[in-house]
């Protein structure tokens, strides 16, 4: 391949990248509020009003195990994202009957790149709050506001 044809290919690829970028194909990247793998995150899971809640959260690297919660109890964990900002924590929530039979169950990502954008930055820690209620799963970047102010329904049972 001659220098001029190689140069022409580079110009075409460069123009295609500008065209794609200009059309918003990388809008997720633009929303990342300058996240990097050194940022510290804390995820809080609070039982709002479910009498017998079991939560099991894990990532590709960490399994946090089963957590049994009663109303107003919470658990949390802290971590840093991996270098590629692809860290995902998936949680399975089970609403248990008094005899420990499962009434309802749901699984979703409690943390991923899209959730990281929503987390609040306070005292150099990005905090992500989940509130589990009988009608669903609410998210907030700030737990100082009384429910429902500042809380958004993200998932239902």
92 and 138: one domain?
A: yes
* pTM score, whole prediction: 0.77
Mean pLDDT of all residues in 84-101: 96
78 and 100: one domain?
A: yes
97 and 76: one domain?
A: yes
| pLDDT computed for residue 1 by the predictor | 63
Beta-ladder partners of 54: 68, 94
48 and 94: one domain?
A: yes
The dihedrals phi and psi of 51, each to the nearest 5 degrees, come to: -65, -35
81 and 129: one domain?
A: yes
19 and 47: one domain?
A: no
d(CA 59, CA 87) in angstroms, rounded, equals: 7
pLDDT band for position 19 (cuts 50, 70, 90): very low
20 and 60: one domain?
A: no
Q: How far is CA 52 from CA 24, 76, 98, 103, 128, in A?
A: 44, 18, 7, 10, 23
How many domains does one find in the chain? Answer: 2
Q: Tell whether the model's pLDDT for residue 3 goes beyond 70.
A: no
Q: Tell whether the model's pLDDT for residue 89 goes beyond 60.
A: yes
Angle formed at CA 132 by CA 153 and CA 108, multiple of 5 degrees? 70
Q: Tell whether the model's pLDDT for residue 49 goes beyond 90.
A: yes
pLDDT band for position 120 (cuts 50, 70, 90): confident
40 and 16: one domain?
A: no
21 and 51: one domain?
A: no
Mean pLDDT of all residues in 37-48: 93
Mean pLDDT of all residues in 114-128: 89
Average pLDDT along the chain: 85
Q: How many CA atoms lie within 13 A of 53 on its CB side?
A: 27
Domain that holds residue 11: 1-30
Beta-ladder partners of 155: 137
Pairing mode of beta strands 136-140, 125-133: antiparallel
CATH of the domain at 69: 2.60.40
54 and 74: one domain?
A: yes
pLDDT band for position 70 (cuts 50, 70, 90): very high
Q: How many CA atoms lie within 13 A of 55 on its CB side?
A: 29
Kind plus residue range of the DSSP H or E element containing 5: helix 3-22
| pLDDT computed for residue 12 by the predictor | 60
70 and 99: one domain?
A: yes
Of 6-10, 61-65, 124-128, least confident by mean pLDDT is 6-10
Q: Tell whether the model's pLDDT for residue 110 goes beyond 70.
A: yes
6 and 40: one domain?
A: no
């Amino acid at each position: 391949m001659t220098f001029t044809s190689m140069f022409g290919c580079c110009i075409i690829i460069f123009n295609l990248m500008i065209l794609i970028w200009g059309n918003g194909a990388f809008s997720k990247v633009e929303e990342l509020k300058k996240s990097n793998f050194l940022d510290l995150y804390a995820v809080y899971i609070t039982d709002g009003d479910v009498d017998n809640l079991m939560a099991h959260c894990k990532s590709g690297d960490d399994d946090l195990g089963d957590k049994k919660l009663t109303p107003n109890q919470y658990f949390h964990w802290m971590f840093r994202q991996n270098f590629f900002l692809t860290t995902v924590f998936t949680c399975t929530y089970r609403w248990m009957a008094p005899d420990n039979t499962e009434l309802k169950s749901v699984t979703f990502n409690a943390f991923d790149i899209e959730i990281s954008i929503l987390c609040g930055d306070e005292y150099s820690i990005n905090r992500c709050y989940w509130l589990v209620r009988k009608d669903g799963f609410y998210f907030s970047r700030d737990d100082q506001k009384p429910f429902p102010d500042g809380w958004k329904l993200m998932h239902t049972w």
